[in-house]
Amino acid sequence: MIEAREPKPALPHEAYEELPEGVAFPSVIPASVLQAEFTFKAILVGIIVGVVFGAANAYLGLKVGLTVSASIPAAVIGVAVFRILRSGTLLETNIVQTVGSAGESLAAGVIFTLPVLFLWELSPGFWPIFPLAMIGGLLGVMFMIPLRRFLIVREHGRLTYPEGTACAEVLVASQAGGNQARQLFQGMGVGALYMTLAKFFHLWPEEPDVAIDRGNYRTSFGGSLSPELLGVGFIIGPRVSAVMLAGGVVGWGVIIPLIYLFGSGVDTPLAPETERAIRDMGSFDIWSRYLRYIGAGGVAFGGLFTLIKSFPVIVSSFRLAVANLGRAAADGVERTSRDIPIHWVGGGALLFALLAAFLPLKVTGGQIGLLAGVFVVVFGFFFVTVSSRIVGLLGSSSNPISGMTIATVLLCALAFGANAAGIDAKVTVLTVGAMVCIAAAIAGDTSQDLKTGHLVGATPRNQQVGEIIGVVAAAIAMSTVLALFRADVVSGEFKAPQANLIRLVIDGVLDGDLPWALVFSGMFLAFCVEIMGLPTLAFAVGLYLPVHLAVPIMVGGLIRLGVERRYTGEERSDRRENGVLYSSGMIAGAAMIGVIGAAFTFLDFHPFEAIAPEEPDPSVWHWATLAFLILGGTLAGKVSGRLHRA
């Protein structure tokens, strides 16, 4: 081996081009160059980053149903830590983001599905949440290993994997200098400070709300004015933010007032409500008992229709992937072509399938059985292939994991519902759906990570082992974090939209008590949005969630719009990157305070109770608005350049 050379300041132009047959991509670190890569410090930093951003995504996903990618923040943190240590290579930093990003992806799959156990009033703890999360995640990694040479290497230029390519650009640029780490850590500090003052010291209401009652028009509006939602709005951009807000306005500005109008003259409860008349219910009660089902119909339609639109890609991807499995070992064995051996992959997949089938489930006292284990393997491999192909074409934000999970749950409910009843059948269906959902989420992340590694010249085997370590560490962490948030999920303080939707689907099929009139209304509303060419899932999620969550997201989207309109070219990209990193930091900082607060509640520990004033009335919105405007000003200042030297 020869000595390592300094990386180039940017990726070669071939990173974005389809190469002629037989021509290999010239990675930043060639296969002939040996660099420190799979080191203890890289693994340790990656695990810490994965746990932090995994907990942040769990908090954000349960609260609002959205998650954010941790690949670029993980890479930036790795660069910052290695600069402090005055050691660290490009490939070590790549291992940090590989291990770290596994945590946020596994968190997404976990919080979309496993909180359903809480909603069924079961009490799962570390077991079975940890083994379910771990098995699903490891299946996602294992199934991606034989697909790498085809989807990542041979389809280079045709499958762009935008997040993986962007992360490679950041890794290379960060090695040459830059202020990305400063933006990220400043955002974490500001987000943590804001949430500490609101959550522990109650200086302003966390979710101000203003009731409207004018004649026969009744509803309420407000905002969950928090750093994480402001950051999410900037990251997802103005178009998706606006469509999400439109869904919330349709729900709270149109549907809730109409339900009040037509239900106010009825003295008895109207199904699915069984206890109170509509005129005696508040806006959040109307949302919970009626509007939520309409939104669930919209989300189900959006997820399934996205899956249907992707069907040609699904068929071709699966056919080509299976055809290329037999040729996976035909390439050379140079450093950048070394994968975990295929016999280890096959043996591991078989072992995890058997574990899934015969895993003792504490919540029911039994196992899901061999047939369910077969379902996990079949649906898992199928949707892992689909997930990797879709994120390669369209990016991770367009990956219809919710549609894949709903399709799996529906088919399993129909298959097992005829032979079983009660909570055992429900847990079996959920277990299969959860492991498939987690596998698909991890596969999308693994694909992006392997693309980054392919561009910078990483050793695939090291990345694959790093993914496995990241999955196991994140599964341990998510088992603890999810237990801390159990009370918030059960009480409804965290809306957990995907988990509630999965519960509605399973209960509706197995119990036959779903209010189909409301569900179909939501499906047809989503259909109208689809034929207008708007992002259907964004609208449906906005309809499903309280409008209060969409308001701060829209503010973040407007700040992003200002950047897009005011700047052009490379300057626009630089300022957008600063905003994304600062927003990612705000999300992580605020979420960490949320996790700490949940831990205090879990332990019945209230250290600020003696010095903090009473929590303010949500109708007193003035101070919350002022604090949020200051928070938004810090983000706007970052992207405008006025706070770059702060």
Residue 327 CB neighbours (<10 A): 11
For residue 420, count other CB atoms closer than 10 A to its CB.
16
Residue 646 pLDDT level (bands cut at 50, 70, 90):
very low
| Confidence band for 8, pLDDT divided at 50, 70 and 90 | very low
Residues 304-329: tens digit of each pLDDT = 787 677 667 656 656 665 665 555 44
Instruction: Write the CA distances from 210 to 57, 125, 218, 385, 548, integer angstroms.
Output: 29, 38, 11, 47, 10
Report the candidate in 534, 518, 646, 632 with the shortest Cα–Cα distance to residue 586: 632
Q: Which one of 2-6, 374-378, 468-472 scores highest in mean pLDDT?
A: 468-472
Cβ atoms of residues 444 and 391 within 8 Å: yes
SS3 state at 532? coil
Window from 112-116, 427-431, 638-642 with minimum mean pLDDT: 638-642
Q: What is the pLDDT of residue 328?
A: 46
pLDDT in tens, 420-446: 567 788 888 899 999 999 998 999 888
Task: Supply the DSSP symbol for 402.
Answer: H
Rounded to an integer, what distance in angstroms lies between the CA atom of residue 567 and that of residue 581? 18
pLDDT classification of 1: cutoffs 50, 70, 90: very low
523 contact partners, CB below 8 Å, separation of at least 6:
297, 298, 300, 301
Type of residue found at 230: L
Average the pLDDT over 85-102 and give the result.
89
DSSP secondary-structure letter at 218? E
Split at pLDDT 50, 70, 90, the class of 331 is very low
Burial 129-149 (b: 16+ CB within 10 A, else e): bbbbbbbbbbbbbbbbbbbbb
DSSP conformation letters of 562-620: HHHHH--HHHHHHHHHHHHHHHHHHHHHHHHHHHHHHHHHHTT--TTTTTSPPPPPTT-
**Alpha-helical segments (H) within 250-329:** 256-263, 283-286, 292-309, 311-325
Query: pTM (2 decimals)?
Result: 0.77
Main-chain dihedrals φ then ψ at residue 213, nearest 5 degrees: -140, 90
Per-residue pLDDT, 462: 94
Q: CA-to-CA distance for 485 and 595, rounded, in angstroms?
A: 8
Respond yes or no on whether the N-terminal peptide bond of residue 128 is cis (omega within 30° of 0): yes
Strands (E), 103-259: 209-214, 217-222
Q: Give 361's strand partners.
A: 366
Position with higher pLDDT, 69 vs 560: 560
In the predicted model, is pLDDT for residue 63 greater than 50?
yes
Min mean pLDDT across 422-436, 519-533, 632-646 is at 632-646
pLDDT at 199: 84
* Residue 643 pLDDT exceeds 60: no
Confidence class for position 459, pLDDT limits 50, 70, 90: very high
Query: What is the spatial distance between Cα 67 and Cα 107, in angstroms, rounded to a whole number?
Result: 9
pLDDT tens for residues 335-375? 888 888 877 878 888 888 888 888 776 565 667 778 888 88
Q: Coil, strand or helix: which one is 69?
A: coil
Q: Where do we find the tokens 């706070």?
A: 643
pLDDT given for residue 209 in this prediction: 84
- What is the structure's pLDDT at 558? 95
How does residue 625 score in pLDDT terms, banded at 50, 70 and 90? confident
The CA distance from 460 to 464, in Å, is 6
